[in-house]
Each structure stands twice: as C-alpha cells, then as structure tokens.
Amino acid sequence: MPHSIPETMTAMGFDAPGGPDVLRPETLPVPQAGKGEVLIKVAHAGVNRPDVIQRQGYYPPPKGASPIPGLEISGVVVAIGDDVAPELLNQEMCALVTGGGYAEYCIAKAEHCLHVPEGLSLADAAALPETVFTVWHNVFDRGWASEGETLLVHGGTSGIGTMAIMLAKAFGLTVITTCGSDDKCAAARELGADLAINYKQDDFVEKVRGFTDGRGANLVLDMVSGDYVQRNLDCLAEDGRHVTIAVLGGMQAEVNMAKLMAKRHTLTGSTLRARPDAFKALLADEIHRQVWPLVEDGTIRPVMDKRFPLVEAGEAHRRMEAGDHIGKIVLDIG
C-alpha cells in the first residue's frame, strides 16, 4: 500500500552549539531515498551520548551526514531507492544512521537496517541499534571476548553498559561493572552483573582483583579514559584487552608502558559513526546472524528509562547529562 509522503517534516536542530535549550523544532524538506537507501517514517529515535556531544559542538557529523542529531531510529519503510529489495517497503525496521534521527522522516542505508521482530515494540527497537552495534564490535570483535572470560564495563546502567552486561552474559562471560550509586549497582545486578561496584565508595581496582583472586579481568570496556586508563590496566589480567569507546573523563592518559609490556596488554578503541558504509553493512550482517536471534526470542531486550516527545528533545538531553537515567532514553515521534 503506497504511503502519502508530505513535502516537509518537523525535526529538532540547533543554530549554534550550547546547552539543551538550543534544540528547537524546525521545518525541513522530507529527504528522498537514493541508491541503496530507504526512507523511514520514524516512530521513535534513541537518545545517545554522541547526540549530546554533537549539540555541545564537540562531535560534528561526518561529511555528507545530516546535521540533525539522532543515530538510531525505528519505524516503517515508506519509500525505497534504486537497488533496494522491494519487499522492504512497508516493513517495520530499526536502523543505525549517521544523523537525522530526531525527525519525522529519516534516510537509512538499507544494509544498516534490521527487521523489528514480532513482540518487540517500536520504542524498544529504537533503543537497540547504536548500543548493539557498539557493544558487539568493541567487546566481541575488537576485544576478542570469549566464553569464560571476565569483562569489566564502566557505566553499567547506561545504555551501552546495560547492553554490554546482557550481551556478555548471553555469551557466557562473567561481568563486573561500576556504577555511581547503590541503587544503580542493584539494577546492574538484576540485569546479570556478577559484581557491581559503587565507584564513589570503593576502589574498583581493588574490588576487581579481589573478585578474580588476583588474576584481574580479561577485558575492559572503557567509556571514561583519562586517569581511568592506568587504573583499568592495573586490574587487567595478563594478555588483557582495553577497549575505549568514549573519553568522558578526558582525552589524555598517562600509561606505564613497562607494566603494559610485562603483562602483554592490548590497548585499542574505536568510533562507529564515521566508519565506511560497507563496514557497517558487514557489522549489521554479523549482528543479524549472531545477536538478532537473541532479540527475536526475547533474551535481549533494551532497558528503557524514559520517553519524551520529539519537541522535548532538550529535556531528554538534560536527563542524560544529569546522569540519573538507567538504560535508554527514547524520543516518541510518529
């Protein structure tokens, strides 16, 4: 059944970087799907830390990407471009996008879309792509996580943290996490964390080494960087891997290279947004094969915090910046 697509749409943008209040609704032309692309009538958009950093002026969109924030969406495919399978039309999809998610319509690469399984709401679906792509690539591809190993993940009740706990447990890892309060530690344990450390009260290095009988964790998923890096290395086992995905604690780190060599540690990290489309297509295919069956059978479900109307995107950012959320913040759009 053909969809009636308007000429214009409402989106949330900003004229200049600043606080949450700079986000405001604007009327823009509805984008058109090009070769290999689909146009999605957006039902929901996930809110992520990179959106906040972009609004603050520190994370500009890559060349050719929409300046509108929003890196993950869910909705219905209402138009397709050339070289797109016609059966995608009218299908409910969630997608990883390079921008443009805070809008009533959004372009996505067809190969970056994942079908929304029966029993999964569109709101929940919008909370999956950014976290699943990020965690799978960094924990399992770059971090070489394997069954029986121990993962330390910081920020255990963030969107990334909650997904890291669930995916790691689903694939047979022991999970240690850090959180900023006893309530958040309890929430992390409910998700499956084997140990949750209140970093405001306890030294996580000491706790990790004690929990592992002095061996240390095999892998750290780090969102802090800065002075956390050496502390992370101090609680890594021999041949441990340190994967950085954000630098909330600072971009510079001082590392004891003698210790790193002695324990044969690996330091790595990545960003996802600017990676080539072909890379993200391969990653989407891997996730479809390895992770999506767990979404289909209900093993993996995003932890949902709070939903906001599109026009209240600024309030959604304010909640994220306050750090009180547990799980994913989502915008309701369509």
Q: What is the pLDDT of residues 161-184, one digit of tens each?
A: 999 999 999 999 999 999 999 999
CA nearest to 73, candidates 325, 317, 310, 324 = 310
Q: SS3 of 282, please? A: helix
Parallel, antiparallel or unpaired: strands 195-198 and 328-332? unpaired
Q: Which residues neighbour 257 within 8 Å (Cβ) at sequence distance 6 or greater?
A: none
Fold of 132-269: Rossmann fold (3.40.50)
Place of tokens 């994220």: 320
CA nearest to 300, candidates 196, 167, 109 = 167
pTM of structure: 0.96
Domain with CATH 3.90.180.10 in the chain: 8-128+273-332
Residue 1 has pLDDT above 70, yes or no: no
Residue 261 has pLDDT above 60, yes or no: yes
User: In the prediction, which pLDDT does 2 show?
Assistant: 64
Total length of the chain: 334
Q: What is the pLDDT of residues 15-68, one digit of tens each?
A: 999 999 999 999 999 999 999 999 999 999 999 999 999 999 999 999 999 999
Place of tokens 């059944």: 1
Parallel, antiparallel or unpaired: strands 150-153 and 174-179? parallel
Domain with CATH 3.40.50.720 in the chain: 132-269
User: In the prediction, which pLDDT does 334 show?
Assistant: 87
Q: Residue 80 is which amino acid?
A: I
Rounded mean pLDDT, 110-123: 97
Q: Classify domain 8-128+273-332 at the CATH class level.
A: alpha beta
Distance of CA 71 to the CA centre of its chain: 9
Residue 308 has pLDDT above 80, yes or no: yes
